[in-house]
Amino acid sequence: MKELKILAIIAALVGITYYGIEPYAHHIMHPEVKPADFAFSDMKNVDTSLAGNVDNGKVLVEANCIACHSIEKAGHLQIMPNADAAAAYGVVPPDLSSAGRIYDKNYLANFIFDPVSAMHLSHKYPVGGAKAFPMPSYNWMSAQEIMDVVAYLESVSPKVSGKDAHKATYDAACGRCHSMSYAKSEATTPKDAIKAYMGATPPDLSQYIKSRQEHYLHGFINDPQLLLAGTSMPRVGLTEKAQEEVIAYMEETGDSKKAERESLGLWVMLYTFVFAILAYLWKRKIWSEVH
């Protein structure tokens, strides 16, 4: 009878904690934010329903983009070393080979139209402010021309799958700013340059899959401002699939034993259950005379 009373007290305390304190901690101290928006529905500067012309997009890209950006898959190589590019722009401009594969079309088109607005970095680069974003707005282009550029970038994107896609997407989306020491990967932008550009050194992401967890990362990567207002990290604009590939790579690198650990957990629970039964039977036997 004593055991049942103790169990009831423990259950009551656990219930108060779970249904009383936990909701307060999560919903009052840390209120819910909007779920990840992979349609990027707030971006409406460009009519993305227009069909792009690849040939015209190629002309526009070669006239406007390759002075800063490499597109190695199309034969446009990087024009200066990473250190020089970072010194010139603050951060190494991305190679655009994978842009059409990993970035949402709506985001990419609106990014070309106005990068600062698309990335939700108006607080860092206000209109008329002292600091200008390295990439200019191409709002002088027509919607058709922007969609031609997007169509061209989609046409040159390489076809990759599996773990190769995980690493390729991570490198293209995150590798310019973030290091991943567990994968022996250094950010392509030198540390002193990226610190001056961002205001702080972006964290090494080796253990972020454990310290932040997958659910948080999905929301944060999609729109950092919702979870950390004022951060210098931009809204990256990845498609849902590309974002899953990034998180998969972070898991493969920082939590490679997850599947093994989870399968072992079931056996540990079974062992604990069997041991609890044996302990109870042993207790009944030892204390049978008292009972």
Tokens of residue 227, six digits? 């979870």
pTM over cut 0.85: no
What H or E segment, with its residue span, contains residue 240?
helix 240-254
Phi/psi at 107 (nearest 5 deg)?
-65, -45
CA distance 146 to 30: 39
Least confident of 26-30, 83-87, 104-108, 211-215: 26-30
Domain ranges in the chain? 1-32, 54-254, 266-291
Please provide the average confidence, as pLDDT, over all residues in the chain.
Answer: 90
Tokens of residue 241, six digits? 């699939």
**Residue 220 zone, left/alpha/beta (φ > 0; ψ -120 to 50; rest):** alpha
Tokens of residue 47, six digits? 């009519």
All residues at 6 or more sequence positions from 179 whose CB lies less than 8 Å from its CB, including other chains: 185, 186, 187, 202, 204, 205
CA distance 183 to 54: 36
Query: In the predicted model, what is the mean pLDDT of residues 223-249?
Result: 94
Q: What is the pLDDT of residue 19?
A: 75
> Does pLDDT of 148 surpass 90?
yes
Give residue-wise pLDDT tens across range 156-213: 999 998 889 999 999 999 999 999 999 999 999 999 999 988 888 999 999 999 988 8
Q: Considering Cα of 83, then 89, then 95, then 98, what sign does the dihedral take?
A: positive
Tokens 């890209």 — which residue? Answer: 61
All residues at 6 or more sequence positions from 111 whose CB lies less than 8 Å from its CB, including other chains: 103, 118, 119, 237
Tokens of residue 103, six digits? 């970035």
Cα 220 vs. chain centroid, distance in angstroms? 6
Give residue-wise pLDDT tens across range 43-82: 999 999 999 999 999 999 999 999 999 999 999 999 899 9
